[in-house]
Amino acid sequence: MKLLRRSTASFGALAALAALAGCGHSPTFNILGSFFPAWLICMIAGIVLAAIVNGILAHYKLEKEIAWTIVTYPCLAAFFAFTLWLIFFS
């Protein structure tokens, strides 16, 4: 019975160490002394890029061709954010 408890405790300790192994480095940026997570920077950049695409489409008068703009632009911002994340942090 003691051996079973000891092996269970050893397994639990090893499982905890394995779970913490991925926490070695978190991608953050130091902006004016405050650390921001990289996903937040990618999200903001994605929103800015989606706004630029909206401006380009408005300039060429193509924004009226897009149906469901309330779905299209957030998906476009997510696409840019995920692409930036994969390019810089994968």
Write out pLDDT tens, residues 33-54.
Answer: 778 888 899 999 999 999 999 9
Quote the CA–CA distance of 79 and 83 in Å, as a whole number. Answer: 6
pTM > 0.75 = no
Q: How far apart are CA 4 and CA 36, in angstroms?
A: 45
Q: What is the token pair recorded at 77?
A: 């911002």
pLDDT tens figures, 14-39: 776 666 665 566 678 787 877 888 88
d(CA 78, CA 51): 12
Q: How far apart are CA 41 and CA 57, in angstroms?
A: 24
